[in-house]
Structure 1
Amino acid sequence: MSEQKYNKGDILFRAGSVPAGIFFVKKGKVKKYKADHEGKEHILYVANEGELLGYHAILSEERYPDSAATIEDSTVAFIPREDFLQTLQNSNILSHRLLKTLSHEFAVLTNSITVFAQRSVRERLAITLIVLREKFKTADTTPQSVVINISRTDLANMVGTAKENVVRFLKEFKTSGILSTQGRKIMIHDIKKLVEISNYGNI
C-alpha cells in the first residue's frame, strides 16, 4: 500500500465514482458523508485511525455510495483493488475484521436513524459530542484531556441541523460548565451532565 498525507478537508473519493481501491486511515480522521442537491452534507460516519474506507463499493461491485474527506490533517494509505481482493480471498483474519467493521458501521447507522427520528437538536448534539469524545481519545490522553477538534459546520452536519443551532447550544453547554471551547476545539468537563441531556438511555 502507498501512503499519502492529506490536509484537512481534502477529498479521498466522491459518491458515484468508480472505486480503484480501499483506504486505510493511518493517522487522523475521515468523514463519510452524502451531499444533497443543494450541496448540504450529512455526515454518516467518522473513521478513526486503523479503520478502512471504500471497501463496501468494491465488495458490492458498485460505485462509491458516499463521499469521504479528512476532517483534520491525516495520513491515509491506499490499497489497489486487485491487491485488496486477493488478500481478502487468502486471509480469514481480514474477512473477519471486515465483517466486524460492517456490523459496527451498521449499528452506528441504525442508532443514528433512531436518534434523528426521536431526539431534539439539543439531545442529538449531546449524543454527537459523547461519540466524538470517544473518537478523539488517544492512548496518551485521560478522559479529562480529550480535545474534540472539529469545525462547527461538520458538527452541524453530523447533528443534522443548522450551524447557528449548534453554536447556540454549545454556548448554553459552555455557560453551564459542561464544556469549554478554544477556537474550533471543544473540551468536555462534565460527561455525566452531557449524558443526562442526551436522554440516550431512553432511546
Structure 2
Amino acid sequence: MHQIDWISANIAASATERALRAGQTLFRAGARPAGLYEVVKGKIRLVRFDRSGREAILQLAAPGDVLAEASLFSSAYHCDAIASSEATVRLYPKPALLAELERDPKLLLAFSVMLARQVMALRTRLECRNIHSARDRVRHYLTVNADNRGRSVTLPGTFKDLAVELGLTHEALYRTLAGMAADGEIERGKGQIRILKCPI
C-alpha cells in the first residue's frame, strides 16, 4: 500500500501544494504543526542539529513518503524539514485530518496501519545502525530489502541516499561496495545491487 493511499476524498479536497527550492526549509523544530505532508516530487530530509551545528539526518523522504505524522498529536515539530532538491509537497491540514480520523473508524485504522509499518521500518533501521562494520551494515540492508528470490535489491534513490539510510558517509559506502564487488559478493548496476553470494 502506498503510504498515502488511505487519504479520503474529504481530506484530499482540503490539501494544498507548495514548491520548495533545494536547501529551503519546509518547517523548523518548535514551530506549530500545520498538518501532514506528502512528498510529491523531489526529496526532503528531516534533520536535527547538535551543539556544534552538525546536521544529523533522521529520514530522507522521497515521493510518496509522508512527513510530520507524529506532529499531528503534538504542539510542535520535533525536527527541521529541509528540501534536499527541488521539491513539491502536499499539505493535508491538521484540523481537517484529525476531524476525519475521529469521524471515520476505517480511516483511523488505515492511518494506524501506516504508523505501525513505519515503526517496523524504524526498528529495522535502528538494528542496521547498531551494526559496527560498514560491510555488515550493507549486508544487513541487502538481506532485508532483497527481492523474492533474494538476488537483487532495487535502490529507492541514489547511492548517496543509501549512505544516508545506512548512517555512513558516501565515501565509506563507495569503498565498502567496491570491496564487496571485488570479492565477488555483489555486482552494482544502475539503481540496483545484484547479490552474487549470500550476504550473511
TM over 0.5: yes
Aligned-residue identity in percent:
25
- 2:112 matched to which residue of 1? 99
- The letter for the 1-side match of 2:175 is R
Q: Which amino acid aligns with 2:118?
A: E
Partner residue of 1:19? 33
- Structure 1 unaligned blocks of 5 or more: 135-142, 181-185
Match of 1:62 among 43, 50, 75: 75
CA distance in 2, matches of 1:39, 1:90: 43
Aligned residues: 181
Using the alignment, how far apart are the partners of 1:15 and 1:129 within structure 2? Answer: 33
Residue 172 of structure 1 is matched in structure 2 by 179
Whether the 8 Å contact between 2:131 and 2:137 is mirrored in structure 1 is no
Gaps of 5+ in 2: 1-14
- Determine helix, strand or coil for the equivalent of 1:178: strand
Distance 2:145 2:84 in 1: 12
Structure 1 residues 31-70: Cα deviation after superposition (integer angstroms, max 9, x where no partner):
33433333444433344443432121121x2321223334
DSSP-derived class of the 1:149 partner = coil
Name the one with the larger helix percent. 1
1:162 to 169, 174, 178: 169
Q: Show the counterpart of 1:38.
A: 52
Q: Which residue matches 2:194?
A: 190
How big is each residue's C-alpha offset from its partner over 1:100-137, in whole Å with a ceiling of 9 and x where there is no partner?
Answer: 12111211222222222245212223444677888xxx
Counterparts in 2 of 1:121 and 1:15: CA distance versus 1, 3 Å: farther
Letter in 2 for 1:178: E
- What's the TM-score once normalised by structure 2's chain length? 0.69
Secondary structure (helix, strand or coil) at the match of 2:38 reads strand
Aligned to 1:138: none
The one-letter code sitting in structure 2 at the alignment partner of 1:105 is Q
The 5-angstrom pairing of residues 73-84 of structure 1 reads 73-84=86-97
Q: In 2 relative to 1, CA 115–145 (structure 1 residues): closer, same or farther, beyond 3 Å?
A: closer
Query: How many Å apart are 1:88 and its aligned residue?
Result: 2.0
* Cα distance, 1:36–1:22 mapped onto 2, change above 3 Å: same
CA offset digits 1:114-164 (Å, max 9, x no partner): 222245212223444677888xxxxxxxx9795653363x54333223343
1:29: how far off?
4.2
**Which one-letter code corresponds to 1:149 in the other structure?**
G
- Go from structure 1 to structure 2 and tell me whether the alpha carbon gap of 1:131 and 1:31 turns closer, same or farther (over 3 Å shift): farther
Q: What RMSD, in angstroms, separates the aligned Cα atoms of the two structures?
A: 3.3
